[in-house]
Amino acid sequence: MLDRVDRIIVAAHDAETVAARWCELVDAVIDRRELETALGSHKTVLRIGDAEMEIHEPIDSGPLAEHLERSGGPFAVGLSTRDLPALLVHLERQDIVPQALTEGRWFCDSASLGIPGLRVVLSETEAHEPVGLLENLYECTHLTADAKASTAAIARIFGLDAGEFVAIESDTYGYEGALTLFDSQRLHRIETIHPYDRSKTMGRYFERFGPSLYMCYGEAADLVPIRERMKALAPNDWTGSDDDPDGMFIHPRATGSTMLGISRISHAWSWSGYPERIVPV
C-alpha cells in the first residue's frame, strides 16, 4: 500500500541554521515554514530532489523535544501512498490510530506501530520536479534488535508483499536485515537491519541508543558537484573518493542533522537485488 519515501523528518535546536546548511551542501530550497502543534515544534520544510526534508525545532515539550534531548538524528521517515484513506482504514483494522498532523499528514510513533525505533509520517503521494543536486530520497535506515520481526511487522502493517523484499548483509558495516521494497521495480524502501558488530560505527550507535532511525539515502545524477561542495565546506565530514563515481556519505557533523548516503542513479540496484538494472557510467 506504500508508494515511496517522500520525506525525512529531523529535529534540530536551530532549524534555520540546519536548513541553510542543506541548501549550501546540495542546493536544497526552503519551501515553507509551519507550526506543527501535535509534535510541539515549528518546522522548516525543504525541497530536496523530488522529496522533502522537514527540520523541526521544538517549541514545547513533546516527542520531538524528547528525541532531540536523547539522541537527535532522524526522527521519522515520511511514507506516501496513492490511496491514503484506504491505508488509514487498513491501519485502523489493526488497532493503529495515527495522529493527525498539518497538511493532511498522519503520524505513527513506535508504540502504536509496535516496532521499536520506527516512527512514520503518512501522506498522499504528490509529484514534484527534482530540485538541487539530488534526484530523490529513497531510503531510511531503521536499526533493530530483531530484523526478522521488524521486517514481518512492516509487511503486515503497511500491506506490503514480503516476497519482494531483499535480504541484505554487510561484513564491512556489520549488519544484516532486509530492504522492504514497496515495489520491486523501484528503490523506495525502509532498510530494517540489526547491527551485530559493536566494533563498527553503526553497532556502537545501536549499543548507545537502541532501536532507532539512523540515516537516509538519496540518488544523484552526478556526484562530482556534491563532492566539490564537501571539499570546500566540510572537508573532514564526508566519506568517498574522486575515483568512485557511484557513492559517498555526508556525515551528521556536516548536515547538523542526519547522515546522508548518496548513490549514483541506478547504482543502488547493485545491493538491492537487481544488479542488471545498473546503468553504466
At residue 281 the predicted structure's pLDDT band, cuts being 50, 70 and 90, is confident
- Same domain? 146 vs 271: yes
Contacts of 58 (CB under 8 A, 6+ apart): 11, 40, 41, 64, 65, 68
CATH of the domain at 68: 3.10.180.10
Residue showing cell 493503529 = 96
Q: pLDDT tens, 95-129?
A: 999 999 999 999 999 999 999 999 999 999 999 99
Strands 29-36 and 99-100: unpaired
- Same domain? 145 vs 18: no
- Same domain? 216 vs 248: yes
- Same domain? 77 vs 161: no
Q: Domain range for residue 70?
A: 4-124
Q: pLDDT tens, 39-98?
A: 999 999 999 999 999 999 999 999 999 999 999 989 999 999 999 999 999 999 999 999
Phi, psi of 27 (to 5 degrees): 60, 35
Mean pLDDT (the chain) is: 97
- Assigned domain for 13 exists: yes
